[in-house]
Amino acid sequence: EAQVTQNPRYLITVTGKKLTVTCSQNMNHEYMSWYRQDPGLGLRQIYYSMNVEVTDKGDVPEGYKVSRKEKRNFPLILESPSPNQTSLYFCASSPYGRSPDPRLFFGSGTQLSVL
């Protein structure tokens, strides 16, 4: 089944404790991205990647890191989480230029709470 797998689904942590949210897709998509969703603000892009070893900042990259060492994986790293990073996070992928319909395929989301 074609899917984007995101883990964990829920995460509670404390300020300053490094964490990683994993994201993996099995559709051979070049494009992957991370979003955070906050009430009243919609989804805002954190980082995106056009291909292996190619990443770039989105609209709200501060406090986050990403890496794209393999095409299928795109982990989101919070080196020192703070309470303002409490949010619902989504990973997404798309076929980009290989399809005339470049819709995003989303993971199931990670609800992160930073205490």
Partner 1 sequence: AQKITQTQPGMFVQEKEAVTLDCTYDTSDPSYGLFWYKQPSSGEMIFLIYQGSYDQQNATEGRYSLNFQKARKSANLVISASQLGDSAMYFCAMSLQSGGYQKVTFGTGTKLQVIP
In the complex, the residues that contact partner 1 under the rule CB under 8 A are 31, 33, 35, 40-45, 48, 50, 56, 59, 88, 90, 92, 94, 96-97, 100-106, 108-109, 111
Task: For partner 1, give the closer residue by CB, 17 or 31.
Answer: 31
What letter would DSSP give residue 26? Answer: S
DSSP β-ladder status, 65-66 and 76-78? antiparallel
The minimum distance between CB 55 and partner 1, in angstroms, equals: 11
> DSSP string covering 80-112, please?
S--GGG-EEEEEEEE-GGG-S----EE---EEE
Task: For partner 1, give the closer residue by CB, 82 or 100.
Answer: 100
Task: For partner 1, give the closer residue by CB, 44 or 72.
Answer: 44
